Amino acid sequence: MANNQKLPRVVIVGGGFGGLNAARALKRTPVEIVLIDRANHHLFQPLLYQVATSVLPPTEIATPIRNLLRRQQNATVLMGEVTSVNADRQLLSVSGFDQPVAYDYLVLATGAQGSYFGHDEWEQYAPGLKTARDALVIRNQILKAFELAEVETDPERRKELLTFVIVGGGPTGVEMAGALSEMAHATLADEFRRINPRSARILLLDAAPRLLMPYPENLSQKVKAKLEKLGVEVRPGHAVELVDAEGVIVNGERIRSRCVIWAAGVSASPAGKWLGAETDRAGRVKVLPDLTVPNHPEIFVVGDTAFIIEEDGKPLPGVAQVAIQSGKYAARVIRQRVQHEAPLPPFKYFDKGNMATVTRGYAIVDSKFMRTAGFIGKLGWAFLHILYLSAFQNRIIVFFRWTWEIISNQRGARVIYETRPPEKNG
C-alpha cells in the first residue's frame, strides 16, 4: 500500500483497549486511520475467565472491530498480522499483504502474552488465558474433566480428573479459582450420578508470599479466607518447578492433575524487537513521557506493550485502564501535531483503583474513594465491567445472564465444542 494520501496516515496495530480507544479518539481529526489486528474482534479480556468457567459465551465479550468503527468514516479496519516494522522507512510488513503498509504516525497497541518464565514447553500442559480461543480450550478441558470422571472406574484416576491446579495468585487466578469452585459446588452439584462435583479439589498456587500482591494486605487476606471457605486450597509461597502431562511439581511435591491453568506472568508482544528499541525484562518498550519511542517521535507505544514510568518512579501495571488512557493520550498528541496546536504535557495516569471478584456476591475494591470487600464491592465491579463492554447489546445480554446465574445457579455456556473434527472409523 503506497502512502499517497493527502491526509496523514495513522496506522494502529492492535484492536484491544489501547488501539480501539486511540482510533475512536481520532474520529474528528483530519487523518486517515488504518487499524490492523490479527483477529477481527475486540475482546473484553477482564471477563475471559467467565468464558473459561461457562458463565458467558465468547460472543458476549467479543465484538467485531468493523462493527465498533462502522460509523467512523476516517477509519479502515484490516485483518492481518504485523511481522516487522521498518522505522527508518516508516513501513510495516503484514503477513498476507502484497505490499508493505506505510504510515506517518504509528501506534503500537499489541498487548501482552503469557510468560512461562523460560519454560515455554509448559504451555502445552497449562494453557494461559489471553484470547477467546484460550478460554474455550480451558472451558472444554474443565467440562471434559467432569465428564471423564463420571465414567472413570479407577479411584486414583478419577481423583486426578477432579483435581484442578491454577498457577498464579493475581486477579485472573483468584477469579478463576472462585468461579471454578462455584461451578463445582452449585452449577454441577446435582447433575452427575456417579461422582460428586463438590469433591473436586481446586488448588491456587503462587510463588509470592500472598495473593494479589498489588492490593493492601488486609484485602488479600480477606480474599484468601473467602476462597478457603469455598474449599479452594490456597498456597502462597509455592513455586511451580515443573508442569507436564501428569500435573505439576511444586516445592518438591507432585500434584497429579489433568487440568492445569496458567495465570502467572505476562510478557509483551514482539513490538520491541520490531523496533530494536530498549525494553524491560518483560519485553515492554521503554517510552518517553509522551509515549513515543526515543529517536522516533512518530511512533507511539501504549498499553501492555509500553513500559511507562510514573512520577514516583514505578512502572504502570498492565491493566485495561492504562491501555485506555494511554491510547487516548497518543491520539491527542497526534491531533495536536496534525492541527499545529500547543504541545501537551507528559502522559499522566489517573488511577481509578483496582478490583477483583471472587464469587457471584463477593469482590474487593481498592481505590482512592473506596476500599471494601463483599457485596458492595461486587456491585461496583459488575457496574464498571458492564459499562466498559464495547457494544451496547453485550451490556444488556451480560446483565441478564448474570442476573439469571445469581437467581438459578445455572450457567448456560456449558457446551463442549470440539476444536478438531472427530476421527473417521474404518
Q: Phi-psi category of 408—alpha, beta or left, where left has phi over 0 and alpha has psi -120 to 50? A: alpha
- Clarify whether 175 is annotated catalytic: yes
C-alpha cell at 120: 515455554
The set of residues, in sequence order, having a beta carbon less than 8 Å from that of 231 and lying 6+ positions away, is 181, 185, 198, 202
H-only helix segments in 231-344 = 271-275, 320-338
**Angle CA 212–386–404, to nearest 5:** 100
Question: For the chain, what's the residue count?
Answer: 426
Which residues in 294-314 are b (16+ Cβ under 10 Å) and which e? eebebbbbbbbbbbbeeeeee
**Cβ neighbours, 10 Å, residue 189:** 13
Per annotation, catalytic residue among 32, 60, 160, 175: 175
Distance between CA 168 and CA 306 in Å, rounded?
22
Enumerate the β-bridge partners of residue 240.
Answer: 250
Q: Which residue has the cell 495468585?
A: 169
C-alpha cell at 286: 521503554
User: What torsion do the CA atoms of 389, 394, 400, 403 make, to the nearest 10 degrees?
Assistant: -30
Q: Which long-range contacts (CB under 8 A, 24 or more apart) does 98-101 make?
A: 99/1, 99/2, 100/1, 101/1, 101/11, 101/34, 101/36
Which residues have a catalytic role annotated?
175
